[in-house]
Amino acid sequence: MPREKNPTTTPRKRAPRKTLAITGKAKAAPAPTQFVGPEKRAALIAEAAYYRAQKRGFAPGHETEDWLAAEAEVDAKLLQGVPSAQG
């Protein structure tokens, strides 16, 4: 014979299911970033540094600034998932 449930216990209540609020604006999902190897990253940085140096007429003494600025620019683009021109 089956046991009867204890009538003094109340069942647990579940929290309501969370739903996404629907708005008129659709949010674009961030683009997935693709892995770029160290050689490709260095090539992208070198190219960006070259163009920075070209813009200022290849004046000597700013090579490190150009490289660091290009490195920051390339890393920011890679983190954002911006596709490179060379694919």
Calculate mean pLDDT across residues 8-29: 61
The model's pTM is 0.55
Residue pLDDT, tens place only, 22-39 = 555 555 544 444 678 999
Q: What is the largest CA-CA distance in the chain?
A: 95
Residue pLDDT, tens place only, 52-80 = 999 999 999 999 999 999 999 999 999 98
Would you say 44 and 36 are in contact if contact means Cβ atoms under 8 Å apart? yes
